[in-house]
Amino acid sequence: MYGRYVAQRFGMMLLVIFLAITINFMLPRLMPGDPIEAQLNQLLATGGSGGDIGAMVASYRARFGLDQPLVSQYFAYWASILRLDLGVSLAAYPERVSHAIAAGLPWTVGLLGFATLVSFGIGSLLGAAMGWPRTSPALRNFGSGVMLLSSVPYFLIGMILLYVFAIVLRWFPAGGGMPFGMSPGLDWQTAGAIVWHGTLPALSIILAEIGAWALGMRGMIVSVLGEDYIALADAKGLKPRRIFLWYGMRNALLPQLTKLALTLGHIVSGAILVEVTFSYPGIGFRLYQAIQSNDYFVIQGIVLLLSVSIAVAMFILDMIYPLIDPRIAGARS
């Protein structure tokens, strides 16, 4: 039963990836204008050498394969995807898109992965405690104050943290991923520098997200309080902590895990405004630069990575669901 369920979900994931790649191929080609011509005009406007712009556009279109029929471009795109070749950057030619993404991906995954998991853990526990009847009023009041932060955009919190701790107190650097001119290496000095530079960006995301996780978890805990298994566990005389963790939180956690999977799937796109605010060298900052310079191939590569990562994250979540509630595999098979 579980094997059939896995096969169905895997087939669905492949279908989603196929549609994402196809749409990702079509959208830039449906946009008005020519990206090659736009880049060359921008180069000429900023002091590049003059020349026959039409001949230059034709030459570059041939180099990038944009002079071929659409069907040929589509199959060539699939061939390059299977080779993990996302093309070259128009704004930073001849840098390859895959190299640009690989340079920013570890920074983004490290920052957002850590911030998301920490905010998920703290927020879920806090929200569950706020919805549990035996929780002290002091903790509920504290949680209510924390949840107010969920209405504040994380980049605005980041700007406040930047002003207070980087400009006024000067406890942390104002931007970047590590000290300027430092050569990264596998040592404690590099790790400490990365943590030092990433503290304020991570803290801004954590403070903004804890309230949202807590709010969702509190609602789910309240919805399971009237269930028979809660009353039965209480009647058996089980310890309150066991009832809270294994009967309350465990059964209220499924919607939270769905949101967590979607959030983790989105982290490869980066927290654009946070990374821009702190000049953090992640995918979000690279996407911001690509949008500014009309670097369509880099934008296309990052969007494709985002789509595939969400599909894979949802597949992994579908595999975890039956382990939490075995009824799910039986219901969908």
Is 154 within 8 Å of 271 (Cβ atoms)?
Answer: yes
Domain ranges of the chain: 2-82, 97-315
258-278 pLDDT tens trace = 777 767 666 655 567 788 888
Mean pLDDT of 137-150: 75
- Alpha-carbon distance of 189 to 27, in angstroms, equals 44
Question: What superfamily would CATH give domain 97-315?
Answer: MetI-like (1.10.3720.10)
- Alpha-carbon distance of 84 to 122, in angstroms, equals 37
Is 95 within 8 Å of 289 (Cβ atoms)?
Answer: no
Mean pLDDT of 48-69: 62
H/E element, 59? helix 53-63
- Alpha-carbon distance of 213 to 119, in angstroms, equals 7
Question: What pLDDT is attached to residue 284?
Answer: 81
Cα angle: 297, vertex 300, 306; to 5 degrees: 145
Mean pLDDT of 197-225: 84
- pTM of the entire structure? 0.71
Q: Which residue has the tokens 């294994």?
A: 246
Mean pLDDT of 89-116: 82
